[in-house]
Amino acid sequence: MHSPPVKYLILIEAAGAMQARLFDADRRHIADLDSATEEIPGMLAGLQPTQGADPEFWGSNLRGHSEAECREARVYTLPV
């Protein structure tokens, strides 16, 4: 069975390291990657992020992240 395509990528700090969190179009969590993974720059090439990941919008997907981490997060919308 295939996963739905990734629509959103959130770069957010987690325990002092930047993490790339991947979500589908319905904001269902797909995977977490180290932001230093070589695939990440290719996924983000030419895209501009929005600043801040609103916990109200992202719901429980950001549970465990502080308010400051959410505020500093960068949210990318990927072409699907």
pLDDT tens track for 33-66 = 999 999 999 899 999 999 999 988 888 889 889 9
Q: What is the pTM of this model?
A: 0.91
Cα separation, 16 vs 3, in Å, equals 29
Does any domain span residue 3? no
Question: Domain tally for the chain?
Answer: 1
Look at residue 3 and tell me whether its pLDDT is greater than 80.
Answer: no
Does any domain span residue 42? yes
Does any domain span residue 34? yes
| Domain limits for position 15 | 8-77
Cα separation, 69 vs 5, in Å, equals 25
Q: How far is CA 60 from CA 12, 27, 43, 49, 52, in A?
A: 15, 10, 24, 21, 15
